[in-house]
Chain A
Amino acid sequence: AQSVTQLGSHVSVSEGALVLLRCNYSSSVPPYLFWYVQYPNQGLQLLLKYTTGATLVKGINGFEAEFKKSETSFHLTKPSAHMSDAAEYFCAVSDQGGSEKLVFGKGTKLTVNP
C-alpha cells in the first residue's frame, strides 16, 4: 500500500528565508507525486507534480521539488518565503495503474513571520 509521510506538522520561517517542506513516500510501483496547497476555507490547488522525466520539477509561485528515488523523497522548496505563502501544504502519491486515487500526507502548516 502506498503511504506518504510529511515531517513536521508545523513549519515556521521568516519572510525571505528558505522554505523546505519534507515528504517521503512509500510505493511498490513507480509513483506519481504531487504537492498541493490549501489556503484557509478553500480547496486544494496543485503546486507541482512529478510523473516521468526530469526529477527537478518547477511549480507555481516559485516552488520546486526534486524526486529522489533512492531516498524515496519529494521535498518542496522555495528560495525566499513570502507572507502570501502561509498555508497548509500536502504531499500526495498515486500509482500508475490508471486510478486517480491520491494518498495524502497529513499536511504541513507553513507560517511566515515578518
Chain B
Amino acid sequence: KAGVTQTPRYLIKTRGQQVTLSCSPISGHRSVSWYQQTPGQGLQFLFEYFSETQRNKGNFPGRFSGRQFSNSRSEMNVSTLELGDSALYLCASSMSASGNTIYFGEGSWLTVV
C-alpha cells in the first residue's frame, strides 16, 4: 500500500513568486492536513481538508491556501513568497476519525532565495 506522496521533493523559488505543492494521500484516506516545519518555529499546522472542505485552519497569513479534490488529493499554494517561507512542508493523511493514525509524507523542501 503506497504511503503519502508529496511532489516535488525539493524546489527553489525566488521572493515574490508563488509555489504549488501536491499531496496524494494513502488510498482510502479522506482527510489531508498540511504542516510547516522550520528550525525556529518547529512543526506548525497549516490547514486540514476533508471531503473537499477546509475543516480547520492554522494561524498563517492568507498567502497560504489549499484545496482538496474529489479524489482526496490535495494541493497547497503559497503566493508572494518571502524568505521566511523556506521550510519543509509536510502533508499528512488519515481515515478522518478522531484518534486515527495520521500518516506523514516525506515532505517538500522549499527554499526561497
User: A100 contacts B33, CB within 8 Å?
Assistant: yes
User: B102 contacts A100, CB within 8 Å?
Assistant: yes
Question: With a CB–CB cut-off of 8 A, which chain B residues contact A42?
Answer: 106-107
User: Within B87-102, which residues are at the interface with A (CB < 8 Å)?
Assistant: 90, 92, 94, 96-102
Answer yes or no: A114 CB below 8 A from chain B CBs.
Answer: no
Q: Chain B interface mostly helix, strand, loop or mixed?
A: strand
User: B42 contacts A106, CB within 8 Å?
Assistant: yes
Among A32, A34, A104, A106, which residue has its beta carbon within 8 angstroms of that of B98?
Answer: A32
B50, B58, B99, B105, most chain A CB atoms within 10 A = B99
Among B43, B48, B92, B101, which residue has its beta carbon within 8 angstroms of that of A99?
Answer: B48
**Which residues of B does A touch, CB under 8 Å?**
4, 31, 33, 35, 42-45, 48, 50, 55-56, 58, 90, 92, 94, 96-107
